[in-house]
Amino acid sequence: MSSSPDFLHGARTAPTRRTVLAAGLAAAVAPSVRAKPARTLTVAAFPLVDQIVKDAIPAWTRRHPDVAINVVMRQYDDHHTAMTTALSTGVYLPDVMALESSYVGKFSMGGGLSDLLQPPYDIGRYRERYVAYAYDQAVNRRGQVVAAPTDIGPGTMLYRKDLLERAGLAETDLQPSWDAYVDAGMKLKKATGANLIGNVKTLKDLMIRSGLKKGQGIYFDSDSNVLVDTPRFHRAFEIALRVRRNRLDGRLDTWSNEWAEAFRRGQTATELGGSWMVGQMANWVAPTTAGLWRAAQLPEGTWVSYGGTYYAIPRDSDPDRKALAWELIEMMTLDPARQLAALKTQDSFPALLAAQDDPFIDEPQAFLGGQRARVIWREAARHITATAVHKQSNFAEDAVNAELDNVLDDGKDIGQALADVARLLELRAKR
Amino acid sequence: MRLPSFLRLSPKWAPYVFISPFVLLFVVFSLFPLCFSLYLAFQSWEPTGGLRAMEYVGLSNFTFAIRDGWFWMSLRNTLWLAIASGVPQHLVAIPLAAFIHTSFRRLRDGVMAVYFLPYITSTVAIAIMFKSLFSQDYGMINAALGELFGLPHTDWLTNAQHIKPAIAFIVFWRYVGFNMVLYLAAMQTIPGELYEAATLDGASRWRQFLHITLPGIKPMIFFGVTLSVIGGLQLFEEPFILTGGKGGPQQAAMTSAVYLFREAFDFNDFGGASAMSWLLFVVVALLTWLTNIAFRSRKGQA
């Protein structure tokens, strides 16, 4: 970071071959001249998390002036691919790796991450300080805790208050059940022309996550039995089909330009997702719609978690720095000041209960027209239970999506579609 | 100035030193991965557990792949795309080459270069460009179709029925120039006297094309078709980038190469992916062999 102003200066005067060479030489020599901190902790992270860690560096340096922190940022997918590769070969392992919650489940099977229950980490003593489900989510089948939660994404419903009012609807019309949500969507479309949701897949994703028994996964139970051909999935597919048949979804790829544009133009009236969606909306998706949105609990008393971030320590990273790595994780996840800083600057909802009880949680949110929505999310967070992640969850998700496309686009029978997915998954379940 | 003796290369070693860059790169980036993937095909490996997490499982990766519905679906997608993009490539490239061969003299190289350009352009850049061209609401292709024929906007990339033709078109567009250059080169080797003699005998242009040009470029057709078969079956970048690496609606654009990449990196099954890659190799070898047979016709020339 500190080298960028130098670089800018150099670029302003027309660089000759010689100055470029000299600059390169200086850059190569500089670290050894400056080399002050005796040790460096490497943190691998993806966007926003990298910023949160960088923001914590001053506080860390006060504690450990001799230990520098090097944050290696990669884009979301690249980061997780790089972490998979690093863990598989044991080369270039960071001291601390940030992981998105679905990858925690995925990586927890392999034994490549340190068990944080063991000394010197002993995360068990802090268990009560974290949101229960976030902690449980990091426990693998062998009972080891492979990562520490830092932020969570309680599921929430965002809706356009102005559009709802124009259709003579209120929040309570959306909430009683998924059917009521779709009914309201039909009125909404008639009165305003706006779609209920950008993509009906989002609706399906939330529905299949609700009503899980403790320890059950979305697609598999703890004995790797396939749970796809069940009422939970049938209902999700039926509701999705109802939405599509009534042309209530925009058929837009989530995160695509068209999807974002529809929000900006007021063509999409609600969105379901993690609480972090508000930050995304306010920052880049549809900042011009500030004040028009409100947040509410999901329909039908659905409590689901939608993403979240963890820090883990690779098993094979440098043992001399593991204690330090843990100290950094403790600071990031257990220090209310750090957790609140992340909430304030990056909208990342704290996994630390103490931070959730801070008065800042009750602050009104401008994007939501002054609503105190974090209180809603805090309540949701306390209802959510952990879902077991199966090795084949990623495949299952794609297979289900492909069959949902078949049902929505080609009119494939729902029973047949789910039976087909189940067959695909059974072949893989025990692999 | 004479180099110090330790820097001088003895003639005995020189050949080895000169070919060593290739050999080294080949061993590191081709031979080793090849052997490693063959080894992996017989292992069950949870990659995040490190190298020691491998476990020998015999042929079970292969039996899994053969029973896996998506493996066959991806093969069907691949064959569809290979045929839909491969056949037109040659059907267009041969007449085009003949046309350029006979009708352009001074401009020939320039025309050739224009057709060849897509081949040397980065696939990633091409895929990204076509992604925006094919965009449903803001894409130029829909705008043009709407303007010219009054067609409604087509959801090229989000509909399973439309994404395959879209990808086949891109692949066709990309390689038609390459094939044309091959055929043009072959046509330039056909002696002009043959055409002169045929003209004297009163053969029409069409007859000359049929009986002189086509037989003359047959070895090149074999070469071009073989390349198309192999390339078509390994199709990866275009569908991968156009679908954001996810296979597209109903996985309609998931070719075998995309699937085995996803099997390894998205679904963490490196053993299964390796087994699939070797099965794909068998399919490629088989079809290449069949192509060979098809071209080794009665007269025994290939």
pLDDT in tens, A402-419: 999 999 988 999 999 999
For the cut 70, the answer to whether the pLDDT of residue A34 exceeds it is no
In B, minimum Cα distance to A253 occurs at: B158
Question: Is residue B225 a part of any domain in this protein?
Answer: yes
CA-nearest of A135, A134, A138 to A125 is A135
Residues from chain B contacting residue A408 (CB–CB below 8 Å): none
Compare CB distances from A406 to B68, B250, B272 and report the shortest one's residue: B250
Provide the pLDDT for residue A24.
44
Compare CB distances from A405 to B68, B69, B249 and report the shortest one's residue: B249
CA-nearest of B184, B217, B195 to B110 is B184
Model confidence at B11, pLDDT cuts 50, 70, 90, reads: confident
Q: How far is the C-alpha of B248 from the C-alpha of B81, rounded, in Å?
A: 14
CA-nearest of A181, A174, A155, A180 to A302 is A155
Interchain contact B211–A (C-beta under 8 A): no
Tokens for B48, please give them: 């995040």
Residues from chain A contacting residue B48 (CB–CB below 8 Å): 83-84, 87-88, 106-107, 109-113
Least confident segment among A143-147, A175-179, A336-340, B138-142? B138-142
Residue B250 and residue A409: Cβ atoms within 8 Å?
yes
Q: Is A53 exposed, middle or buried (0-12, 13-18, 19+ CB in 10 A)?
A: buried
Percent of residues, chain B, with pLDDT higher than 90: 64
Residues from chain A contacting residue B69 (CB–CB below 8 Å): 420, 423-424, 427
In B, minimum Cα distance to A390 occurs at: B267
**ipTM of this complex prediction, to 2 decimal places:** 0.84
Provide the pLDDT for residue A12.
36
The average pLDDT across B72-83 equals: 96
pLDDT in tens, B150-188: 888 888 888 888 999 999 999 999 999 999 999 999 999
CATH number at residue B242: 1.10.3720.10
In A, minimum Cα distance to B159 occurs at: A409
Residues from chain A contacting residue B49 (CB–CB below 8 Å): 87-88, 109-112
Provide the pLDDT for residue A2.
36
Model confidence at A41, pLDDT cuts 50, 70, 90, reads: very high
Q: How far is the C-alpha of B150 from the C-alpha of B152, rounded, in Å?
A: 7
Topology given in CATH for the domain delimited by A36-152+307-352: D-Maltodextrin-Binding Protein; domain 2 (3.40.190)
Model confidence at B106, pLDDT cuts 50, 70, 90, reads: confident
Model confidence at A105, pLDDT cuts 50, 70, 90, reads: confident
The average pLDDT across B189-201 equals: 92
For the cut 90, the answer to whether the pLDDT of residue B190 exceeds it is yes
Higher pLDDT, B191 or A37: B191
Q: How far is the C-alpha of B61 from the C-alpha of B49, rounded, in Å?
A: 19
For the cut 90, the answer to whether the pLDDT of residue B239 exceeds it is yes
Percent of residues, chain A, with pLDDT higher than 90: 73
Kindly give the residue spans of alpha helices, DSSP state H, lying in A35-174.
49-63, 76-89, 101-108, 132-137, 161-166, 171-174
Mind giving me the DSSP string for A55-83? Answer: HHHHHHHHH-TTEEEEEEE--HHHHHHHH
Interchain contact B134–A (C-beta under 8 A): no
For the cut 80, the answer to whether the pLDDT of residue B6 exceeds it is no
Residues from chain B contacting residue A87 (CB–CB below 8 Å): 47-50
Residues from chain B contacting residue A200 (CB–CB below 8 Å): none
pLDDT in tens, A2-30: 333 333 333 333 444 444 444 444 444 44
Chain A to chain B, count of Cβ pairs less than 8 Å apart?
98
| Chain B interface, best mutation among A99, A199, A420, A431, by max B CB count within 10 A | A431
Question: Is residue B49 a part of any domain in this protein?
Answer: no
Provide the pLDDT for residue B69.
93
Question: Is residue B202 a part of any domain in this protein?
Answer: yes
Domain boundaries, chain A: 36-152+307-352, 153-305+363-429
A160 bridge partner residues: A293
Interchain contact B95–A (C-beta under 8 A): no
A153-305+363-429 and A36-152+307-352 share a CATH fold = yes
CA of B233, closest CA in chain A: separation in Å?
22
Interchain contact B267–A (C-beta under 8 A): yes
Provide the pLDDT for residue B109.
87
Tokens for B204, please give them: 């029409």
CA of B163, closest CA in chain A: separation in Å?
14
Question: What's the one-letter identity of residue B94?
Answer: I
Domain of residue B136, residue span? 62-295
For the cut 60, the answer to whether the pLDDT of residue A391 exceeds it is yes
Residue B268 and residue A251: Cβ atoms within 8 Å?
no
Q: What is the mean pLDDT of chain B?
A: 90
* B115, B180 contact by CB (below 8 A): yes
Q: How far is CA B143 from CA B51, B152, B243, in A?
A: 52, 9, 21
Question: What's the one-letter identity of residue A20?
Answer: V
Domain total in chain B: 1
pLDDT in tens, A302-353: 999 888 999 999 999 999 999 999 999 999 999 999 999 999 988 899 999 9
Write out the CATH class of domain A153-305+363-429.
alpha beta
Tokens for A337, please give them: 């000041």
Provide the pLDDT for residue A14.
40
Greatest Cα pair distance, chain A, in angstroms, is 71
CA of A117, closest CA in chain B: separation in Å?
18
Question: Is residue B214 a part of any domain in this protein?
Answer: yes
Provide the pLDDT for residue A343.
92
Tokens for A267, please give them: 């063509």
Question: Is residue B91 a part of any domain in this protein?
Answer: yes
In B, minimum Cα distance to A396 occurs at: B267
Q: How far is the C-alpha of B221 from the C-alpha of B212, rounded, in Å?
A: 14
Q: Counting every residue, how long is chain B?
A: 302
